[in-house]
Amino acid sequence: MTDIPHPAPAPGDDLLEAAVERIQAGAALELDPDTVAEDLARIVLGLMEFLRQLMELQAIRRMEAGTLTPQEEERLGLTLMRAEEAIAAQARAFGLTPDQLSLDLGPLGRTI
């Protein structure tokens, strides 16, 4: 059997792996029956913001490696900026502040 080389871990890979392990371990979600819509919005938007930050780290890695054209850099930057704005707008719609989107990853700390 031939060994398949694995790419070097990207910035944020360890954070994603720890988050998955925490979810698999059954980390409790904080839901209250009186505020379930806001609580779910906080969790979903927090995950979206976490993924946006991971994408931003990957974009920086690709820019530093020189694998993007100037047009791709511009498009990626604009996309990430608009994604950040959209997440913030949805958070405001639910009365959430950016710090409320932070997810607890146990020993790794919070995502934001």
Give the domain extent around 43. Answer: 35-108
* Cα 67 to Cα 53: distance, rounded to the nearest angstrom: 19
Q: Is 40 within a domain?
A: yes
pLDDT of residue 90: 95
Residues 41-92 pLDDT 10s: 988 999 999 899 999 999 999 999 999 999 999 999 999 999 999 999 999 9
- Is 24 contained in some domain? no
Q: What is the pLDDT of residue 12?
A: 56
Total domain count for the chain? 1
Q: Rounded CA gap, 112 and 61, in Å?
A: 19
- Say what the pLDDT of residue 61 is: 94
With respect to residue 30, please indicate whether it lies within any of the assigned structural domains.
Answer: no
Please check whether residue 79 lies inside any domain of the structure.
yes
Tell me what pLDDT residue 73 has.
Answer: 94
Residue 25 lies in a domain: no
Encode burial over 65-75: b for 16+ CB neighbours within 10 A, e otherwise: eeebeeeeeee
The whole model's pTM is what?
A: 0.68
Mean pLDDT over the full length of the chain: 81
